[in-house]
Amino acid sequence: MRGKGLLIGLVVVVALVAVALFAGRDTWATAKIGTVYVAKQTCSCLFVAGRPMESCRTDYDPEALKPLTVEATDSGVKVSALAGLVSAQAKFEQGFGCHPAN
């Protein structure tokens, strides 16, 4: 009897994990694309256009930036999402501008 309950519990847990993975696949893909886009655009804003970070943040919907962490470095920008599970970097190269680095 106890083994049957354990088996049912295991099946329920596996089913919940499968549903969560299936439902989260779009969120994961969107986070990957979004972090690269924001990193490249922010890098260009900072290093090519020469605007300050506060001005660059106005290029995006404030609600869209809330789940992102945007950090400027000496030569580029790093953006992360989903508690750091997804991240992207853009680097500035003189004469070439900004490009995704990963």
pLDDT tens, 50-81? 999 999 999 988 888 888 999 999 999 999 99
Distance separating alpha carbons of residues 93 and 36, to the nearest angstrom: 17
Closest CA to 92 of 50, 64, 55, 60: 50
Length of the chain counted residue by residue:
102
Specify the pLDDT at position 1. 58
| Residue 79: CB atoms within 10 Å | 25
pTM given for the model = 0.76
Residue 77, CB-side half-sphere exposure with 13 Å CA sphere:
28
